[in-house]
Amino acid sequence: MPVAVDRTRAMPAADAPSSPVKTSQAQDMPSAGTPVNPRKRKKTKVEGAEEAWSWKSLTDSSASRVPPIFTKDGSYFFSAAGPSVKIYSVATGEVVSTLTPPPTSVSGAAGSSLQSDVVTSAILNPHNPFQLITGSLDGYIRVWDFLDASLLQTLHISQPIFHLTAHERFRDHVFVAAARPTKKKTSKANVSTGEDNVAVLRVSLKPTAATAGAEVQVSAEVVGVGKTRSTTGLAISPSGGWLVATAGHKAYVCQTVDLKAGFTKFVSPERLTCLAFHPSEEYFATGDATGCIRLWYCLNESIAIKTPGVEKTAQTTTLHWHAHAVSSLAFTPNGAYLLSGGEEAVLVIWQLHTGKKEYVPRVGSPIVHVALVNNGGEEKYLLGLADASFAFVSASSLKISRTIARIKLDPAVSHDRPSTSTSVPLAIHSLSSTLILPSSHPSSLQTYSPSTSRLLSELEVSPSNRVSRRDDKPLQPSRVECAVLSDAGDWMATVDSREADESFRAEVYLKIWRWDRKAGFWILNTRIDRPHGLKKITGVAFRPRARTQDDLLLATTGEDGNIKTWRVRSVKTKSEGVEEFWVARSTLRFRDETPSDVSWSPDGSLLAVSVGSHVAIYDPDTNALCQVFTSPECTTVRSAQFVGSSGRYMVVSGLRDVLLWDLVSRNLRWHYHSLNAIERPVVHPDEDQFVAIERVSPPTTAHPPSTKILVFHPLSSSPTAIRTLPFHLRSAVSVPPSGFFPTDPSGFTLVGITDAWSVVVFGDDVQVPEDEGASAQGIARDVTSGKRTLFHDIFGASAFADLGAAPSTSTAAASAAQSWKGKEVADVFSAPAHLVPPLEMLFDAVMDGFLAVRPDDADEHEDQEAEHDEEMDIDETAVPARPIKGGAPLDRVVDRQEMQGFVELFMQCAIKAPPSIPPPTPQVNGIHHKLNGIPPHVNGIRTTPSTPASAAKPNGVSINGHVHTPSRPSPAQSDASPVVKAGKKRKKSLG
């Protein structure tokens, strides 16, 4: 029986073998009870050299700074994502192609935040609507043919590009806002501040003669227009006569016919944030940092008169509703309305000639971009949101029609980003093969399926008010700190908290959710307020391999010093059901130490708690302290985890140290000391190995960050492999071999969240399912699919059928001979309801679709078959008599509900006897009537007899005032079916 262990019985660690990079202080420390080895310890060489680990980003993290651009027909739109441009289908919302440039020497890592090849601007070629022109921070201008997904031209101007525009008046020329080189350096990192200084250039797309055949070309002509501060907008008027740039508190205006004259500066009272030109008139609109929208009327001939040293003011009209900065503006094609959006997550539609406005509130996230599309039907507004999602708004109803969303991971601009030391929830749900990820809003979680690359759902863990801030200081919502799942996948525990301020006290909630297998969603089961008081929760873990519900435990640790376990309690309800919820089971303390982490052994028989410089091992069933492991070389234990499926070893990590304990021999096998900070180790789910993640700090801010992954085996303190990644990680979990990625069971595959809020998969031989539109693919133009117009709604789709593509007579006959599939009847009702004729007139047309027309030469074929049958002696098997129907037999089963609909249709339309005609002579037609008053069943329909039960029913049974003729003939009539002619021999192939 395990007994409690005091401090004097704690296991020593000085006799453990040391890592080659171990500190001298730890090497000189003697072992208690073990003689010191007089030989000098030799440094062993690391087995594997550093190699780059294979990795792939699952999705794009941040919202694009480039507004979405629609094709001329409105069928597709472009959205920049890092160095690539994704092409979305408007009809389906799926990515159909991705335009990715070839790698260059200055390209950054997709997982890092220091990318230099990010696309910052994109426009359609005004002379060729099937070409896309992009500009990026690496100074490249690229011309794409997006139909063939081919890169046509690459120009390099050697300066980062921020904005790009063009006009049909300037053939083979584009205007760019590029960083202007400066000699001024910052005092700390010696980095150029050239991004604050911008030069507007006119760049020719024609290359020089020396670079005409090169892969990367140089422009033959670059003309400077003027100098500005960091630009927030660059556009040319629809007439092509004016070039306008916005930067800082000024609007820079230049006549395109006289570029040498440079810019005329117009002063704005506030910092300008966006720019849009009116589609037909010579004025433009700007938005500023205070939420004001100004219409500038300064594009006239008087602009040519300049006074040196004097900045002009222009006649403007002010529109003000937004409480915060206006992020995007867009005019409607007719110029009657102006659309604006910002941090409030409200789309405002301004009617310019009256000043009235309408709103589309609660779009889900702050609006970053606004675009318009009209693909032949109703006009729609496309909103690019701060969480990297898109929302389509109907112009007629002013309601969101649909959204396009993938992983919404980048925190919204209205909330402060959590620091890199803040824990980030990340888990793998085995039942649904999905990832549990943080959302753009800090109080929500999202479920993402890597196999289908779809965002399945979003779970609001803590309900919060998503109204924008009133003052400069926003109200901080609750943040989800962690999400832990049970190994069976039925339970999930989340911790959300909010820090105290002058208005609210601190809040900490432990919420336990249950997975609804039918609905495929998490349902809140128990909420525990302040499980560790107002102190922070430091560790949460479910007990693995619980055989019954009573064995399932949840362990938590907090900064209050308590170690708590929770269990499931079942209570019978009044409706004879069973209600399950979680209650506290036990509370423990280890001296006066503060626990920092908790974990379970693979079989759930031991509970390891990291407290101070110790690791305490408990028996969860009896709450008895079994063992305490202490190492003087690791003064602060951050985590302790069991290694492998057997759980014999336990890896303990500190700030820069990794220790491995053998639980069977109770000895420290080895110790590894690193020069870099070590994150929480990640253990392989099956094999006896684990990885330690080191954050390598870059020497300067100009260098990208990197992460070193050390793969360890319990037998050696030297890493068996060293891998590198070009980004830092906030969190990482190991993917089980039976997960959603095809992995090697003995290798490592991990999923992590980078500091730049990207979800990446990395490991040995990473194989991620390729998205359908993840690569460059040609777009096939479907010329046969017509667009729905107002005339389709008036006259119906059948009125616009292509008569020239009508099938031939033989094809039509063949199709008429086929059985009814149940879909053709929908074409009859494709017209609007007010144009559809009465149902009585449609009955024949509908029935003609049910039954095949008897061909004219059927009699001749039957005569030939009859003569052929007389010449052959065939042993016939008895076939039960049944009525014969014209045409081919049905190839599907008609259910009772469908037959009931047919019967009601016959009763209302086809078999409506005139009231003056007396009922026919009563005949028994094979329907058995019961004499006890129970109405008979006809084709599964219970009918109400109009005569006493003992009376004989006529052939036309009266039902609901209509005469009903049973569809099933009597045995006497089956031999003389009206479909088969008299004197003709029945075909032997029946049945």
Nearest to 582 by CA among 629, 543, 630, 634: 543
Q: Could you tell me the CA-to-CA distances from 133 to 106, 123, 141, 737 in Å, in that order?
A: 20, 5, 7, 44
Q: How far is C-alpha 875 from the geometric centre of its chain's CA atoms?
A: 66
| pLDDT of 942 | 44
pTM above 0.75, yes or no: no
The residues pairing with 440 across neighbouring beta strands, listed in sequence order, are none
Neighbours of 535 (CB within 10 A): 16
Strands (E), 685-821: 690-696, 706-713, 716-725, 729-734, 749-754, 759-763
The residues pairing with 627 across neighbouring beta strands, listed in sequence order, are 617
Q: Could you tell me the CA-to-CA distances from 319 to 246, 269, 352 in Å, in that order?
A: 18, 14, 9
The answer to whether residues 596 and 626 touch, using CB atoms and an 8 Å cutoff, is no
The residues pairing with 444 across neighbouring beta strands, listed in sequence order, are 460
Angle at 563 between CA 559 and CA 567, to 5 degrees: 130
Tokens of 706: 């990197």
Tokens of 966: 């049973």
Angle at 553 between CA 549 and CA 559, to 5 degrees: 160
d(C-alpha 409, C-alpha 388), whole Å:
8
Phi, psi of 907 (to 5 degrees): -65, -35
Phi, psi of 914 (to 5 degrees): -65, 145
Residue with tokens 């079916």: 977
The answer to whether residues 720 and 713 touch, using CB atoms and an 8 Å cutoff, is yes
d(C-alpha 150, C-alpha 147), whole Å:
8
The answer to whether residues 157 and 131 touch, using CB atoms and an 8 Å cutoff, is no
Q: Alpha helices of 769-909 — where are they, by DSSP H?
A: 790-795, 809-817, 825-828, 839-850, 858-870, 896-905
Tell me, what amino acid is at 539? G
Tell me, what amino acid is at 621? D
The answer to whether residues 83 and 118 touch, using CB atoms and an 8 Å cutoff, is yes
d(C-alpha 742, C-alpha 750), whole Å:
12
d(C-alpha 417, C-alpha 61), whole Å:
14
Nearest to 435 by CA among 463, 462, 456: 456
SS3 691: strand
d(C-alpha 357, C-alpha 911), whole Å:
59
Q: Could you tell me the CA-to-CA distances from 945 to 286, 903, 965 in Å, in that order?
A: 78, 16, 14
d(C-alpha 39, C-alpha 397), whole Å:
85
Nearest to 639 by CA among 681, 600, 672, 601: 681
d(C-alpha 445, C-alpha 423), whole Å:
14
Q: Which residues contact 975 (CB under 8 A, 6 or more apart)?
A: 881
d(C-alpha 608, C-alpha 620), whole Å:
10
| pLDDT of 886 | 40
d(C-alpha 398, C-alpha 359), whole Å:
8
Residue 846 exposed, middle or buried by CB count within 10 Å (0-12, 13-18, 19+): middle
What's the farthest any 2 CA atoms get from each other in the chain? Answer: 125
Task: Give me the DSSP letters along 463-519.
Answer: ----PPPSSSSPPP--EEEEEEE-TTSSEEEEEEEE---SSS--EEEEEEEEEETTT
d(C-alpha 757, C-alpha 438), whole Å:
10
| pLDDT of 677 | 87
The residues pairing with 746 across neighbouring beta strands, listed in sequence order, are none
d(C-alpha 57, C-alpha 110), whole Å:
7
d(C-alpha 251, C-alpha 268), whole Å:
7
d(C-alpha 915, C-alpha 80), whole Å:
73
| pLDDT of 794 | 64
Nearest to 82 by CA among 125, 115, 56: 115
d(C-alpha 19, C-alpha 42), whole Å:
10
Across the 991 residues of the chain, what is the mean pLDDT of every consecutive 10-residue run?
Answer: 37 43 36 36 48 82 81 91 89 89 58 66 93 93 92 92 93 92 53 68 92 90 91 93 93 91 90 94 94 91 61 85 93 94 93 92 90 83 89 92 81 53 84 89 89 86 74 75 93 92 85 93 95 93 90 94 95 86 94 93 94 94 93 89 90 93 92 89 89 86 84 91 90 80 73 87 76 71 53 62 47 42 54 68 68 63 56 44 41 67 73 52 44 42 42 42 44 41 41 37
In eight-state DSSP terms, residue 34 is B
Tell me, what amino acid is at 958? S
Q: How far is C-alpha 401 from the geometric centre of its chain's CA atoms?
A: 17
Question: Sheet harboring 95-99: ordered strands across?
Answer: 69-70, 76-81, 84-89, 95-99
Phi, psi of 257 (to 5 degrees): -80, -15
Residue 931 exposed, middle or buried by CB count within 10 Å (0-12, 13-18, 19+): exposed
| pLDDT of 742 | 63
Nearest to 760 by CA among 48, 51, 53, 50: 53
Residue with tokens 């089963």: 893
